[in-house]
Chain A
Amino acid sequence: MRIVMHLEEIWKTYDMGEVKVDALKGVTFSVGEGEIVIIIGPSGSGKSTLLHILGCLDNSTKGRLDIDGIDVSKYKSKKLSKIRNSKIGFVFQRYNLLPKLSAFENVELPMIYSHMNRSERRKKALGLLELVGLGDRVNHKPSQLSGGQQQRVAIARALSNDPAFILADEPTGNLDTKSGEEIENLFLKLNKMGKTIVIVTHDMEMMPLGSKVVRIRDGEIESTEVKEIGSNN
């Protein structure tokens, strides 16, 4: 199994003036291609900090992070934005679509940033919206879509530049049970197509989804469970 992401002794220390707070204390784990990894932990466990570092929104204080075989731990703003654009597909709890753009334009945006040409962009965005089941909602604004539909647009957007993995932050946290299940099923469908998915959550109910579950507490990995391949149909 190819490794798409590897963390090696990641530390994150916040300097609060007189005291230093260690949010992450030497976190090490890997995500292999085609896995669904659930990172689970209560609030205050360092989960958000880990998410920011995995998402290349923040640098670690110490340690090494490889994404798709590239060591990004020393990257600065410009290179990090490129990694976010090409290697990481973000899915947020609150969808975070741009309200004034249509579903199509929201999906198109990361491809504009990667300078893909117009016709290719169009084809890709339409295909992805079709894939997430919104082929008939292409020109709808986020405000005209339900929460579940908005999250599916966000997933299509996350997939637009064929990232190394999807990084989802509480993806069902704002959804009712039914919409939440639909999103989970969409993740499973994408996983079957070979997409790698990392979900950061505190929701125990998502655990069965994962082929690997990483429990985090007080900035450290408490346990890692790996399921038999093929056990989550």
Chain B
Amino acid sequence: MEVIIEALRSLWNNKMRTILSMLGIVIGITSVVSIAALGEGTTASVTESISSLGAKNITISSFSSYAYPLLYSYGMDIEEMCPNVENTIVTLQGNYTIKSDYGDDSETVLGIEEEYMDVMQYDILSGSDFSEEDHLNKNSVAIIGNVLAETLYPDMDPVGQMVYVIQDIGNFTKKNSFEIVGVMESGTTNQFSDPSNFLYIPFSTAEARIFQSQGEISNLVAVASSEDTVSKAMKEIDYYLYREFDGKEYYRISNQQQILNVMNDTLGLISFVLIAVAAISLFVGGIGIMNIMLVSVTERTREIGIKMAIGASRKRILTEFLVESVLITFIAGIIGILLALALTSSLEHIATSMSLHARLSPEIAIIAFLVSAGIGLLSGLYPANKASRLSPIEALRYE
């Protein structure tokens, strides 16, 4: 205990030198921790936005929508013929000018079947989901995403209001009117396209009034019975589609998890390389501390001699110097972590458009502490050993 107090006092007595020797480690720890936190945060947010789409979801798309469009019947067939597929989601999608009496916006209109809101785990904030009759009778009703609602209906409740989808057909425009029955919120922000910015109408209504799609659909997603059966389900779907596409591979079957894995691998590699570069500054900082400690040993030769004469053992002298260098780097580590915390959170605020996410997990912090203390130990070892090997007689004579 006294050793630590004495070391702190000695560091305090040489404030300027202590601060300067800490600097390298502070910079090193700050950059390493910041990069690690940004890497982890970004990975987490990508993971979240992708898995919010459902790790069990298998997306089916066609490369040739004229020759081989996706058909409504595929959904029913896949559900029936593939034992590992639990459910399919079929949607019609288009981009239109969406108008209200108060404003307009160009956004996605999505025709959805029953239970879509439940399957996607979206919340109905006010009003209600479509009723069975809405789907059966092709009613002109709509559910609006809460973000879009703010644009079209500022400071008011959209439920009960009319919304218009404007279609340009040839040289005339068609104005489709819908009554808003509900407001939804997606809960997750997807950085590619935000479901809270969509307008939702019943699939049957969309098919009859806007898309006139005659059995064709825009998106087909199959939901596997569990995350473990995803690859089996994909094989089953492939078997079915291969025949439907006349043996031509104009289709793609993909799973979010695969995309996620690739993205995570890439992000992991990028942050690893950046951390390795930043770690060089830690190494340089460690050398700086060793240098300072060596100077300190020389400066304090006489002090060491006196201490030895009044009974300090070699071990004690060794400990004193080691504790000092570990304290320097440990304090530098704490400062570095705090700076990294400040840096990453201000970066998040400044660069919102870059969608930077930082997450300083306890693991990163603990590793940073251990690494900085370890550097102190390693860079203090040689100077401390040198100090403890001094001959007391020589050290006492030293001017």
The yes or no verdict on A and B being binding partners is yes
A residues with CB within 8 A of B? 52, 55, 57-58, 77-78, 81-82, 84-86, 90, 92, 96-98, 100, 109-110, 112-114, 157, 161
Q: State A203–B310 Cα separation when bound (angstroms).
A: 25
From B302, B310, B314, B315, contact of A109 by CB (8 A)? B310
**A181 smallest CB distance to B (angstroms):** 26
- Pull 10 A–B residue pairs with CB atoms less than 8 Å apart, ordered by A: A57-B309, A77-B313, A78-B313, A81-B311, A82-B313, A84-B308, A92-B396, A112-B2, A113-B311, A113-B316
Digitize B386-399: 1 where CB-to-A-CB distance is under 8 Å, 0 elsewhere: 00000011001000
Q: State A90–B306 Cα separation when bound (angstroms).
A: 10
Chain A residues near B302 (CB, 8 Å)? Answer: 96
**B96 smallest CB distance to A (angstroms):** 79
From A52, A86, A98, contact of B311 by CB (8 A)? A86
Q: State A74–B306 Cα separation when bound (angstroms).
A: 23
A81–B308 contact, CB under 8 A?
A: yes
B174 within 8 A of A: no
B13 within 8 A of A: yes
A52–B393 contact, CB under 8 A?
A: yes
Chain A residues near B393 (CB, 8 Å)? Answer: 52, 57-58
Chain B: number of interface residues, binned into ranges? 20 to 34
Residues of chain B from 309 to 327 with CB closer than 8 A to chain A in the complex: 309-316
Main DSSP-derived SS at the A contact region: helix
Chain A residues near B313 (CB, 8 Å)? Answer: 77-78, 81-82, 113
Q: State A48–B309 Cα separation when bound (angstroms).
A: 15
B307 within 8 A of A: yes
Chain A residues near B249 (CB, 8 Å)? Answer: none
Q: State A42–B308 Cα separation when bound (angstroms).
A: 27
A96–B315 contact, CB under 8 A?
A: no
B77 within 8 A of A: no
Residues of chain B from 273 to 332 with CB closer than 8 A to chain A in the complex: 302-303, 306-316
A96–B311 contact, CB under 8 A?
A: no
Known A100-B13, A113-B316; contact A55-B309, beta-carbon cutoff 8 A: yes
CB nearest to B9 among chain A residues: A100
A114–B311 contact, CB under 8 A?
A: yes
